[in-house]
Amino acid sequence: MGSNDIVNRRDDVRTRIRRGFILGVVITILFFPLGLSNFGEAFALESRVYGYVIYRSGSIIHVGYLPTYLYMWRISSLLFLAWIITYIAYIIKPSIVLDSSGIIYGISYVITHYIYLFTIGAPIIIYPFAYIMITVGKPLLYLDWGQVITLITIWRFYSIRKLMRG
């Protein structure tokens, strides 16, 4: 294999990685209007007679508007689904484009996930791979997908970076 072949292969890998990053950014940007719209209200399973709830000063308050945390939950849910679907497709047929777009979905998910958590208003205690939300009644323990996806995203980033060098 000549030096031109190595350079061409490296350029091809970089081009495909760039395409994946661009695809990830474009789809992530498209998810924001979807998550920020009230489109989901058209498919609500129950009528919102009591409105929504927010947690403030140790109590739950009913409000007549859609709280910020629900918008962030919608966006992070879309990004989580995109991330899962991307890596399922990647497992079926490995592709640098899928892998690099998955990194963008992972980073975007983590950001919106933590915005969601910290706009709920309830105290959150973060542990390794878990968090506890303290609301009225018993504290709730959750697996922290933000930390799980962060680790996987870092791993995939370094895998792609190694491909770019080699």
Give the list of residues 6+ apart from residue 7 with CB closer than 8 angstroms, or none.
none
**pLDDT tens digits for range 23-77:** 999 999 999 988 888 765 655 545 555 677 888 877 788 888 788 888 899 899 9
Supply the pTM of this predicted model: 0.87
Summarised one tens digit per residue, pLDDT across range 113-145 is: 999 999 988 899 999 999 999 887 789 999 999
Distances (CA, A) of 21 to 29, 69, 129: 12, 27, 27
Q: Where are the domains of the chain?
A: 3-165
